[in-house]
């Protein structure tokens, strides 16, 4: 039997008042599939990520998350689905300032109802170069380090979907490469990834690259080196 896609969006419309942002948008994403979304500034990429994270509602259309119709979910159920199944690495990282990095990771696992595995947490921190930083509070870390801590927190609960907004945006090439390796290595994380990026060399590491243009997702049309 064919598995239900993780994400099914059809005819999705969203506007901020008179400003139409998403118009007749469609997206089907399988479990474990990794896609990059590109598009000019203001195209609606962050808005789409917020809708995918169940943080923002939409005006019209169909959005099924792992077979469940999102627009009919009660608020509590949305929060439950987000806590358990969706990891987010957004520019505002929302790490809790009075908890250490490790405590932030453990708390996210607890909220997801998944026991945190200390060995896995140590391994993930090492993968992003934060071995020495687990006992530090977010305010003691640089912006890029906080972003990497956010990625560890998102991955430790092994979500079905990881949403990343410019995951390598303010990182140097080497650290950015390490972050991508972590997100895209199926031995570390086997779930689906949707990443927004402005960098073609980052986008090319994903299974598919889509462009958000005129409110819709379209195949990006440059030749992709494989």
Ligand X SMILES: Nc1ncnc2c1ncn2[C@@H]1O[C@H](COP(=O)(O)OP(=O)(O)OP(=O)(O)O)[C@@H](O)[C@H]1O
Q: Using the 8-state DSSP alphabet, how is residue 74 labeled?
A: -
Of the candidate residues 5, 27, 36, 39, the single one contacting ligand X (CB under 6 A): 39
Residues within window 54-113 making contact with ligand X, judged by CB under 6 A: none
Nearest one of 149, 162, 226, 150 to 189, comparing CA atoms: 162
Q: Considering beta carbons, is residue 144 or 215 the nearer one to ligand X? A: 215
Q: How far is the CB of 145 from ligand X (least distance, A)?
A: 22
Of the candidate residues 10, 11, 24, 42, the single one contacting ligand X (CB under 6 A): 42
Region from 38-46, 80-88, 144-152, 181-189 binding ligand X, contact rule CB under 6 A: 38-46
User: Is the distance from CB of 78 to CB of 70 less than 8 angstroms?
Assistant: yes
Q: How far is the CB of 154 from ligand X (least distance, A)?
A: 19
Cα separation, 91 vs 195, whole angstroms: 12
Q: Could you say whether residue 44 binds ligand X (CB under 6 A)?
A: yes
Of the candidate residues 5, 7, 38, 47, the single one contacting ligand X (CB under 6 A): 47
Cα separation, 4 vs 119, whole angstroms: 32
Region from 14-22, 70-78, 120-128, 133-141 binding ligand X, contact rule CB under 6 A: 14-22
Q: Could you say whether residue 16 binds ligand X (CB under 6 A)?
A: yes
Six-digit token pair at 89? 């690495």
Q: Could you say whether residue 41 binds ligand X (CB under 6 A)?
A: yes
Q: How far is the CB of 134 from ligand X (least distance, A)?
A: 31
Cα separation, 156 vs 153, whole angstroms: 5
Residue 105 backbone dihedrals phi, psi, to 5 degrees: -65, -45
Q: Could you say whether residue 168 binds ligand X (CB under 6 A)?
A: no
Q: Could you say whether residue 159 binds ligand X (CB under 6 A)?
A: no
Q: How far is the CB of 191 from ligand X (least distance, A)?
A: 23
Partners of 87 in the beta sheet?
162
Residue 49 backbone dihedrals phi, psi, to 5 degrees: -60, -40
Q: Could you say whether residue 167 binds ligand X (CB under 6 A)?
A: no
Q: How far is the CB of 47 from ligand X (least distance, A)?
A: 3
Strands in 19-29's sheet, in edge-to-edge order, are: 19-29, 7-16, 60-65, 68-69
Burial of 208 (0-12, 13-18, 19+ CB in 10 A): middle
Contact residues for ligand X (CB under 6 A)?
Answer: 16, 19, 21, 39, 41-47
């Amino acid at each position: 039997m064919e598995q239900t896609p993780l994400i099914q969006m059809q005819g999705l419309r969203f506007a901020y008042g008179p400003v139409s942002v998403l118009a007749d948008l469609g997206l089907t994403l399988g479990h474990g599939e990794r896609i990059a979304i590109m598009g000019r500034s203001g195209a609606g990429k962050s808005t789409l990520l917020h809708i995918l994270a169940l943080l923002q509602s939409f005006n019209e259309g169909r959005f099924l998350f792992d077979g469940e119709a999102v627009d009919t979910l009660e608020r509590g159920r949305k929060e439950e689905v987000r806590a358990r199944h969706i990891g987010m690495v957004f520019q505002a990282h929302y790490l809790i300032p009075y908890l250490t990095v490790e405590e932030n990771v453990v708390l996210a696992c607890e909220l997801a109802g998944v026991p945190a595995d200390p060995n896995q947490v140590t391994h993930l921190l090492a993968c992003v170069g934060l071995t020495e930083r687990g006992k530090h509070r977010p305010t003691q870390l640089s912006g890029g380090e906080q972003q990497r801590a956010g990625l560890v927190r998102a991955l430790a609960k092994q979500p079905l979907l990881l949403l990343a907004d410019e995951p390598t945006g303010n990182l140097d090439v080497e650290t950015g490469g390490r972050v991508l390796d972590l997100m895209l290595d199926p031995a570390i994380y086997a779930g689906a990834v949707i990443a927004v990026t402005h960098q073609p060399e980052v986008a090319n590491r994903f299974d598919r690259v889509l462009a958000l243009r005129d409110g819709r997702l379209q195949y990006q049309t440059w030749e992709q080196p494989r």
